[in-house]
Amino acid sequence: MPATPISSKGITVTAGRPDLVPPKWRREIQSVLIPADKIARRVRQLAQLIKKDYKNSDLVIISLLNGTVLFLADLIRHLDIPVKLDFMGVTSYRTNTLPGKPLVTKQPQLELSNREVLLIDDILDTGKTLNFALGVIHAYHPRSVKTCVLLDKPSRRVVPITADYVGFRIPNHFVVGYGLDYAERYRNLPFIGVLKPEVYATTPIL
């Protein structure tokens, strides 16, 4: 039998595993939504797709700070094609804890004009951040721009946008780990976990 083609649209995850939460995290983490081994396997698959699509290109990767750091590090180690790497910072200043208009905190430094660009983010949620970042990148007049996200939460979408490469499609849970944070905590978790509601209901956002 021929091998099943690897999809760029994402693997659907429907439920977490409370039994996989390490004991020291059980007071804060409700369940493990995506274990570390599944993340590693999917990152390798995404790298295969990207290598195939950009095998004849001099690719520029722009990674959105800060949540992409672990995903980015693992992804590019599987890319044996010419790659240039840059970073972009986007934030939403908050008023009374409500997110406001996105603002650029760090502009890309590499030349992007007439280049193939891959924009990487940790999670596609409402779509506002990725849509804003794409607008900034397009102002540099690249030859093409594609997007790659580790997680896609389509039920939260406000802006009609889809990513070209998706790791996992997830339900509307508050997720942390593998670079994703809450109040700058949990980024170092090796898995994607669901945060207990009582944690983000009582811990202030930095």
Pair of tokens at residue 117? 């660009």
Active-site positions read: 125
Question: In Å, what is the CA distance from 112 to each residue of 85, 117, 136, 142, 206?
Answer: 11, 7, 11, 5, 33
CA distances from 146 to 9, 116, 153, 194, 195 (A): 13, 8, 18, 28, 30
Q: Are 106 and 136 in contact (CB under 8 A)?
A: no
**Which amino acid would we find at residue 42?**
R
What's the angle, vertex CA 114, arms to CA 103 and CA 112, rounded to 5? 35
Preceding peptide of 66 cis, ω within 30°: yes
For residue 99, report the phi and psi dihedrals to the nearest 5 degrees. Answer: -65, 140
Cα–Cα distance measured from residue 194 to residue 29, given in angstroms and rounded to the nearest whole number? 6
Q: What's the rounded Cα separation, in Å, for the pair 134 and 20?
A: 37
| Residue 202 DSSP class | H
Radius of gyration over every alpha carbon of the chain, rounded to an integer in angstroms: 17
